[in-house]
Every structure is written in structure tokens, then in C-alpha cells.
A = this chain, B = another copy of it.
Amino acid sequence: MSVKDNHGYHMPPQEFRRHGYALIDWLADYALNVDQYPVLSQVKPGDVRATLPQSAPQIGESFEQVMADFERDILPGITHWQSPNFFAYFPANTSGPSILGELLSAGLGVQGMMWLTSHACTELESHVLDWVVDILGLPEKFKSSTDGGGVIQDSASSATLCALLAARERVTRFNAKEAGPNGRLVAYCTTETHSSLEKACIIAGIGLKNLRKITTGDDLAMDVSAFSSQIEQDKSDGLIPFFACATIGTTSTLAIDPVPEIASVCEQHRLWLHVDAAMAGTAAMCEEHRSLHRGVERADSYCFNPHKWMFTNFDCDCFFVADRQELINTLTVLPEYLRNPATDSGDVIDYRDWQIPLGRRFRALKLWFVIRHYGVEGLKHHIREHVALAARFVSWVNANDDFEIAASPRLNLVCFRHRSSEELNRKLLEALNKSGRLFLSHTTLDEKFCLRFCVGQTHTTEAHVAAAWRQIEGTANQLQSAS
């Protein structure tokens, strides 16, 4: 129990050590045993809350008690994103070095809003993001030694919003910052673009009716001639096209928009081109996938998430811009209490002007830890392993006449379906997830319900993928014979 001593009610250092060791042990064991838990939590709405006391404790409690309650009351309500049997959505994987980087960041408790408030927090971030430019084969113009630069955002949603805002300011010559957007600005994406762009258009006052979702071809990539025609149409209607988002690896199927062709249209009409490679970008570190980034050298901004497929725990999105001054001019507000000589000198980066919030954690530490622990070689090895496992899964689907591949498999994602009814596919997903033995998600392609199987969890091996496929086949057979 927490008692007042010469530390007041704070946790004394020797207690922190003791509980810290115990928690490190718990997490090491968790990583080893996480495949024993139901992947998708099996509790019902309200079950977790029902275990918790109505009021906060007046008197402090022991850490052992809190951890015991965590294990008894909270853990059953956890969906285990770190299970090797997690194949849903896109992964949000992590790793030992990343967890330790996050721990160090929490312990230092640095608030890196400006260079002045922690020099190293800013400089390590700029530096590691320059490394990332080289690792992924991104253009030099995204390096901090040029007019551009990189910054860590919490998510691709926030990166996309920042890109949209900078584009809005560029086209209005910074009038939107003063007077708001004018209701005539039009943004472009495709029917497959991530929903975060819709959210960004709502937030930034562009409005959903000014977001054009361009149709896609059979490959689910943008139909560039439709894009070009739509711009002409909008211009002739007196509207102002200003922003386009191309996706390298869409959420549904990892479709890849034709960035070079989109860039040509953007250049012709002076649109800001943002490229969202949230999950797939990581793969470009492998030479055989480097072509994913074809055309990115012509983009105004780009983002990908190490917190998806690069062993760096959420949150860590790397966002790059070709002209950092456009972003800074958009988001800067400098009240007296934040003025300081370093900022006034212009010699330093103040990352508060590169993001939505003011404050920020020292997130570069975990990314630095991950890159140094694995080395580029180690990262590539595991990405290749995941891609190979997905290919093996494809071969198994193809070998079973009851199933079909629903979209060209790419990288680590397989969309597939049972050839029978829509209903069976829905029941199959529900039964698999209810089993707790694996977790898949779904999408709709050609108005058909499809299952998505994404291999990206840190500790997934062939055994997990094979077991998942056996479970899928077996459950489908059971459902079919029951129907």
C-alpha cells in the first residue's frame, strides 16, 4: 500500500525497481505466451466496466494489487494485437527495442514542442528521419539538409491532415489561415483511399462535397484519365482543384495508385500531391519492392507508419514534406511565452509548427532503438519473411477449390473468399474470430464480402499461418455441412 514517507506518496526508487523488474518479466512472459490468449477479446460490452469499482480509491493501493486487478479484470478485455495469430486490419506490431525506447521516453518525460525544450528530442528526430529517407529510397528533397524534412506524427491521419492544410494555404496564398477556406477548394482521392482523408476534409473545412472520389480500374488503382477529366470539369465549374492523395497500398487490397501519372496531372494543374504509403512503405526498403516508390520524387508530401509493419509500437508515423516552410507557415502561432532566442535565430526546427498539437513526446528514441537493434539487414529479413508467408497462404487458398483469391495479392495481404454464399463468408469470419484462435477482418470487393488476411505481426511464423489456414478450411467445412 502506498504510504506517506520521506518520498511523500511518490513511489520510492527501490519500489520502482522492484515493480519495474516484475513488469519487464510480465511483458517478456506475455510475448512468449500471447498466442495462448483468445486474439479477439471474448467479453461482452460492459463486462470490463462491471468489474471496476464505482469510485476512485481515496487511499493509495499497492502496485501488486493493481497488477493483480489488471490480470483479472482488464486482460480478458484485451484484443491481442501482438499475438502471432493477429491477421486483421493492418498490423500494429512492436518489438523489444521499441518497447524499451518507449520506456526510456516515458522516464525522461521530455516535452519536445520546441528545439529549446529539448534539443536532442528534435535533432535525433530530424536525423533518424533522414536515415529513413535513405533506407526507403525516398527522394533527397525529403531530407532536413534540403528545403524539406521529416517529422514524426501520431498517425497517417494526422499526416494527411497536415498535408491538406499546407496545400490549402498554398493555393489560397495563406488567405485560408486568416479568412478560412473559400468553399471552392476541391480535393481528389479514389474510392479506395483511406477514410482519414474524408475526416481531414471535414476538419479542415473543405467539406465532403468538395472531395472527389475518383473511380478505379480493375486493379483498384486510380483511373488517371477520370482524375484528369474531373479536374477539367471542376475548373470549368469555377472550382479550385488544390490537393490529391495517392495511395501506395490501399487499406482494402494494397492497391497501388499510379503515382507518376498522377504526379503529371498534379503538376499540370498545380495540385499538391500527397502520397500515403502507411503500411506498404516499409516494404520499399527491400530492393525487390523499391519500385513501390516510383514517382514519389514528384510528391509534395509522403507518409508511412513504422508503427504498422516496422516493429515500432504505435504511435509512430513518418511524414515528409518537400518544402517545410509551407508546412511551418501554415501551422505556426508564436505567443510571447514560447518566444526564445533559438527560435528567433531560425537555426533550429521547432516541431510544434509541423503538427496539430503543441506538445510532443520523444518518439524518435523508439525508432532509433529499432533501427539500431535490427540494422537495415534485420528489418529487410523480417519483411521478406512476412511477404513469403503471405505467398504461401495464397498457394493454399489456390489449392482449395472451395475458396478463391478476391484481389491480386500484394506484399503481405491476401483478400480471399469462400466460393459459396455471401452469408457463409460472413458466418465464417464471425466463427473464426469467436474461436479466439485467430483474428481476421473483412472488406467488400465488387459488392462481395471478402476476408482479409494480413501477415505482419512480429512473431508470426509459418506454423501460425498454417494453423490459421487449417482453422479457416475446417470452419468453412463445418459451416457448409451445417447449412
A336 on interface, CB distance cutoff 8 Å = yes
Q: Which of A120-128, A221-229, A268-276 contacts B (4 or more CB under 8 A)?
A: A120-128
Which of A14, A19, A65 counts the most B-chain CB atoms under 10 A from its CB?
A19
Assuming the A-B contacts A79-B110, A157-B357, A251-B337, are A378 and B56 also in contact, with contact meaning beta carbons closer than 8 angstroms in the complex?
Answer: no
Nearest Cβ on chain B to A18's Cβ, whole angstroms: 9
- Residues of B close to A158: CB separation below 8 A: 356-357
B79 touches A117 (CB 8 A): yes
Contact A11-B177, Cβ < 8 Å, known A118-B81, A120-B41: no
Q: A23-B100, A359-B155 are in contact. Are A2 and B196 (CB under 8 A)?
A: no
B336 near A378: Cβ-Cβ < 8 Å: no
> Are the C-beta atoms of A207 and B183 separated by less than 8 Å?
no
Q: Which of A153-171 contact B (CB under 8 A)?
A: 154-155, 157-158, 161, 165, 168
Is A479's beta carbon under 8 Å from chain B? no
30 of the cross-chain contacts (CB-CB < 8 Å) are: A9-B382, A13-B31, A13-B32, A16-B31, A16-B96, A23-B103, A27-B103, A43-B119, A45-B115, A46-B347, A47-B123, A48-B124, A49-B123, A56-B132, A56-B135, A60-B378, A63-B97, A79-B117, A81-B108, A81-B111, A111-B314, A177-B208, A179-B209, A179-B210, A181-B205, A195-B335, A199-B331, A199-B333, A252-B337, A315-B361
Q: Is A261 an interface residue (CB 8 A)?
A: no
Q: Which of A289-297, A387-395, A441-449, A462-470 contacts B (4 or more CB under 8 A)?
A: A441-449
Q: Is A148 among interface residues, defined by CB-CB distance under 8 A? A: no
Q: Which residues of B contact A282 (CB under 8 A)?
A: none
Cβ-defined contact, B102 with A102, below 8 A: yes
B109 touches A94 (CB 8 A): yes
Interface residues on A, range: 35 or more
Q: Given A55-B131, A155-B357, A108–B82 Cβ distance below 8 Å?
A: yes
The reply on A57 being an interface residue by CB < 8 A is yes
Interface stretch (choices A240-248, A319-327, A366-374, A396-404): A366-374
The minimal Cβ–Cβ distance linking A76 to chain B, given in whole angstroms, is 8
Q: Give Cα A225 to B52, complex, Å.
A: 46
A residues 57-100 touching B (CB-CB < 8 Å): 57-61, 63, 65-66, 70, 74-82, 89, 92-100
Known contacts A17-B24, A127-B49, A158-B356, A375 near B119 by CB under 8 Å:
no
Majority SS at the chain A contact face: helix
- The one of B2, B26, B342 in contact with A378, judged by C-beta atoms closer than 8 angstroms, is B2
Given A127-B52, A131-B55, A314-B109, decide whether A373 and B32 contact each other with a Cβ distance below 8 A: no
Q: Judge whether A61 and B373 touch: CB under 8 Å.
A: yes
Of B77, B176, B345, which one neighbours A118 at CB under 8 angstroms? B77
- Verify if A198 is at the interface (C-beta below 8 Å from B): yes
Query: Given A337-B452, A373-B60 in contact, is the A176-B100 Cβ separation under 8 Å?
Result: no
A24 in complex: contacting residue of B24, B315, B377, CB < 8 Å: B24
Query: Within 8 Å of chain B (Cβ to Cβ): is A477?
Result: no
Which residue on chain B has the smallest CB distance to residue A305?
B359
Which residues of chain B come closer than 8 Å to A52, judged between CB atoms?
Answer: 124, 127
B15 touches A356 (CB 8 A): no
Residues of B close to A372: CB separation below 8 A: 56-57, 60-61, 65-66
Q: A4-B378, A20-B20, A81-B117 are in contact. List 6 more A-B contacts (CB 8 A).
A: A41-B118, A60-B372, A66-B372, A92-B359, A158-B357, A177-B202
> Is A431 interfacial (CB-CB < 8 Å)?
no
- Given known contacts A9-B381, A372-B61, A27 and B107 CB-to-CB distance under 8 angstroms: yes
List which A25-45 residues lie within 8 A (CB) of chain B.
25-32, 40-41, 43, 45
- A57:B155 contact, CB within 8 angstroms: no
Is there an interface contact between A102 and B100, defined as CB atoms closer than 8 Å?
Answer: no
Residue of B93, B107, B121, B336 near A444 (CB, 8 A) is B336
Contact indicator A120/B74 (Cβ below 8 Å): yes
B66, A119: Cβ atoms closer than 8 Å: no
Residues of B near A315 (CB, < 8 A) are 357, 359, 361
Shortest beta-carbon distance, A245 to chain B, in Å? 14
Contact (Cβ within 8 A) A118 B79:
yes
Residue picked from A20, A25, A307, A459, most chain B C-beta under 10 Å: A20
Indicate if the CB atoms of B375 and A60 lie closer than 8 Å. Answer: yes
**Contact flag A59-B94 (CB < 8 Å), given A10-B459, A315-B359:** no
